[in-house]
C-alpha cells in the first residue's frame, strides 16, 4: 500500500525568519564577506550552514567581532547591554530582531514604566527570553508553568503585568495567564491572540494534521522552541511525533504498518528540508502527497533602512 503524506499548511518560514535571512544575505552583498552574526541568526542548523558558506561568521559574543566589522544581531533580540557594547566599540550594527519580538520589548517597558511587576512567560535560557529580560529596565520574573505562578513571592494585590516569549505553546500560555488572573487581583497583559501570528497558525495547523495522521514528523532543529512545541502538540494528541533536522534523521521503522504520515515544519525550517523528508519516505514506500487547507500568510516585514537604501540605489542604477 502507498504511504499517504499530508503536509500542514502553513508550515516553515515565517516573515521574521525570512527577514532575518534576507538581512544577512543582503549585508554580505552590500558590505562584502565576512559579516559577523551574534549567535545563530535563527535556530536552524541548515540555514546557519548555508549563510556561513556565503560569508557569515557566527560568534558567541561581540568580543569575538573584529573592530569595524559589520555586525548583525539575531532575530531573537538582544539585551540593552549588548547594544551598548556594540555602540561603545563603534561596530556598524544591523539589527535583525523580529518586529514581533521588538513589540514584546516595548510592551514590557511600558508596563514597567507604569510601576507593574513584570512576569515574563517563557523558557529559561532561550535567546529570546534573555534578550527580553535585558530590554526591560525593571525586575522581571520568569515563569514557564501555572505551578510556578503559585510560587511567586508577591501579595495578591500586587499590580502584575505579563509579556510572553513569542514561540510558546498557545494553550500552555493561556493556562499560565489564567493562573495569574486567579492568583492576583490586578493583572495586565496582551491577549493570548497577541502571541506571534506564525506560532499560532502553525500550532493550529499541526492540530488539524494530527487528527488525520498516524505519525507526525516535525522538521526543525533541536534548539528551535517553536519546532519543539509542534512535536509536543502531536504527542499530546496521542500520535507518535518526531522532530528531525531533515530526511537523514527519519527512521524507516516509524512508518512500518502506517498509512498516513503528517509533516510540518517549524518557523525557521526551509522547504528544502521538508522535501528531503518526503524524498526519504519515497525511498521507503510509494507515496501520495497532499496538503491540508489552511491560513494564507501574507505578512511581510520591511528591511532595516540601510539595506532598503541600497536596494533603491541598485534599482536606480539598473534603470
- Specify whether 164 is located in the same domain as 216: no
- Specify whether 39 is located in the same domain as 93: yes
Which of 239, 259, 260, 241 is closest to 251 using CA atoms?
A: 241
- Specify whether 78 is located in the same domain as 109: no
Domain that holds residue 88: 15-97
Domain count for the chain, please give it: 3
- Specify whether 156 is located in the same domain as 143: yes
- Specify whether 203 is located in the same domain as 187: no
Residue 216 lies in a domain: yes
Instruction: Out of 63, 97, 131, pick the residue that ends a domain.
Output: 97
Instruction: Out of 169, 194, 219, pick the residue that ends a domain.
Output: 194
- Specify whether 254 is located in the same domain as 172: no
148: CATH = 3.40.1010.20
- Specify whether 52 is located in the same domain as 69: yes
Residue 91 lies in a domain: yes
- Specify whether 109 is located in the same domain as 186: yes
Report percent pLDDT > 90 for the chain: 92
Residue 160 lies in a domain: yes
Burial state string for 247-257 with b = 16 or more CB within 10 A and e = fewer than 16: beebeeebbee
Residue 311 lies in a domain: no
Least confident of 82-86, 106-110, 169-173, 276-280: 169-173
90: CATH = 3.40.50.11270
Provide the mean pLDDT of the chain: 94
Residue 310 lies in a domain: no
Cα–Cα distance, 298 to 283 (Å, whole number) = 34
Residue 83 lies in a domain: yes
Residue 128 lies in a domain: yes
Instruction: Out of 97, 132, 161, pick the residue that ends a domain.
Output: 97
Q: Are 118 and 94 in contact (CB under 8 A)?
A: no
Cα–Cα distance, 248 to 267 (Å, whole number) = 20
Report percent pLDDT > 70 for the chain: 97
Average pLDDT over residues 88-115: 97
Residues labelled as active-site residues: 128
pLDDT tens for 136-163 read 999 999 999 999 999 999 999 999 999 9
- Specify whether 162 is located in the same domain as 185: yes
290 or 317, which is more confident? 290
- Specify whether 65 is located in the same domain as 93: yes
Backbone Cα Rg of the chain: 21
pLDDT of residue 316: 47
- Tell me the pLDDT band of 270, cut-offs 50, 70 and 90: very high
pTM of the model: 0.92
| 3-state secondary structure at position 34 | coil
Which of 253, 257, 254 is closest to 241 using CA atoms?
A: 254
pLDDT of residue 69: 98
CA 81 to chain centre: 22
Cα–Cα distance, 200 to 280 (Å, whole number) = 29
Amino acid at each position: 500500500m502507498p504511504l499517504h503524506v499530508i503536509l500542514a499548511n502553513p508550515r516553515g518560514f515565517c516573515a521574521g525568519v525570512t527577514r532575518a535571512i534576507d538581512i544577512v544575505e543582503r549585508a554580505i552583498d552590500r558590505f562584502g564577506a565576512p559579516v559577523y552574526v551574534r549567535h545563530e541568526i535563527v535556530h536552524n542548523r541548515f540555514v546557519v550552514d548555508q549563510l556561513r558558506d556565503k560569508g557569515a561568521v557566527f560568534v558567541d559574543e561581540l568580543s569575538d567581532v573584529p573592530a569595524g566589522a559589520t555586525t548583525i544581531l539575531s532575530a531573537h533580540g538582544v539585551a540593552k547591554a549588548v547594544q551598548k557594547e556594540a555602540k561603545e566599540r563603534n561596530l556598524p550594527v544591523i539589527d535583525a530582531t523580529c518586529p514581533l519580538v521588538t513589540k514584546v520589548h516595548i510592551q514590557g517597558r511600558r508596563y514597567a514604566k507604569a510601576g507593574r511587576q513584570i512576569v515574563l512567560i517563557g523558557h529559561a535560557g532561550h535567546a529570546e527570553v534573555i534578550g527580553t529580560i535585558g530590554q526591560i529596565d525593571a525586575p522581571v520574573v520568569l515563569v514557564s508553568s501555572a505551578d510556578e505562578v503559585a510560587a511567586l513571592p508577591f501579595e495578591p494585590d500586587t499590580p502584575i503585568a505579563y509579556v510572553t516569549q513569542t514561540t510558546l505553546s498557545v494553550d500552555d500560555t493561556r493556562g499560565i495567564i489564567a493562573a495569574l488572573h486567579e492568583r492576583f487581583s490586578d493583572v495586565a497583559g496582551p491577549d493570548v491572540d497577541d502571541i506571534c501570528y506564525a506560532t499560532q497558525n502553525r500550532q493550529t495547523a499541526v492540530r488539524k494534521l494530527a487528527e488525520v495522521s498516524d505519525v507526525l514528523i516535525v522538521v526543525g532543529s533541536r534548539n528551535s522552541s517553536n519546532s519543539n512545541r509542534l512535536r509536543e502538540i502531536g504527542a499530546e494528541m496521542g500520535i507518535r511525533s518526531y522532530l528531525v533536522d531533515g530526511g537523514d534523521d527519519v527512521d524507516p521503522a516509524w512508518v512500518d504498518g502506517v498509512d498516513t504520515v503528517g509533516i510540518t515544519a517549524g518557523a525557521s525550517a526551509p522547504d528544502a528540508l521538508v522535501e528531503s523528508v518526503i524524498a526519504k519516505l519515497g525511498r521507503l514506500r510509494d507515496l501520495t502527497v497532499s496538503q491540508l487547507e489552511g491560513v494564507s500568510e501574507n505578512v511581510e516585514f520591511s528591511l532595516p533602512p540601510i539595506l532598503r537604501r541600497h536596494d533603491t540605489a541598485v534599482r536606480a542604477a539598473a534603470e
